[in-house]
Amino acid sequence: MDLTDLRIPYLLPTALLMVALIFKAPTLARAWRDPDVRATTLLLGLATAVFVSVTPVSIHTINTMTGIPNIAAPWGYSLLTAFCATCLTMIMRWRDEPSNLRRRRMHRVYLIYSGIVLALWITFLLADVPEERIYDLDTYYAGTPWIREHILLYLIAHMASALVAASMLWRWLSEVESRWLKTGLVFLQVGYAFGLVFDVAKLTAVAARWADADWDFLSTRVAPPFALLDAILVAIGFIVPQAGPYLQDRIRDGAHHRRLRPLWHTLRMLAPAAAQARVGRWAPIDLRLLQRQQRIHDALLRLAPHLDYHLYARAYAAASARHDGETARGIAGAVTIQVAAAAYRQPAGTDAEPTANLPALIKTEITDHIDAISRAMRHTRATENVRLQATTAESVTPHA
* Tally of CB atoms within 10 A around 222: 17
Calpha distance 145→150 (Å, rounded)? 9
Query: Residues 14-30: what's their mean pLDDT?
Result: 70
Confidence (pTM) = 0.76
Query: Residues 362-384: what's their mean pLDDT?
Result: 86
C-alpha distances out from residue 303 to 181, 287, 321, Å: 46, 24, 28
Burial environment of residue 152 by CB neighbours within 10 A (0 to 12, 13 to 18, 19 or more): middle
Alpha helices, DSSP H, located in 174-284: 179-210, 216-217, 223-259, 261-267
Calpha distance 270→303 (Å, rounded)? 8
Position 72 confidence tier, pLDDT thresholds 50, 70, 90: very high
| Percentage of the residues of the chain whose pLDDT score is greater than 90 | 42
Tell me: pLDDT of 241 over 50. yes
Residue among 364, 371, 378 at smallest CA distance from 262: 378
Is 78 in contact with 138 (CB distance < 8 Å)?
Answer: no
Calpha distance 242→249 (Å, rounded)? 12
Residue among 73, 90, 116, 104 at smallest CA distance from 37: 90
Burial environment of residue 120 by CB neighbours within 10 A (0 to 12, 13 to 18, 19 or more): buried
Query: Residues 233-239: what's their mean pLDDT?
Result: 84
Tens-place pLDDT, residues 133-184:
998 999 999 999 999 999 999 999 999 999 999 999 998 988 888 899 999 9
Tens-place pLDDT, residues 318-333:
888 888 888 999 999 9
Tell me: pLDDT of 7 over 70. no
Tell me: pLDDT of 352 over 70. no
Position 63 confidence tier, pLDDT thresholds 50, 70, 90: very high
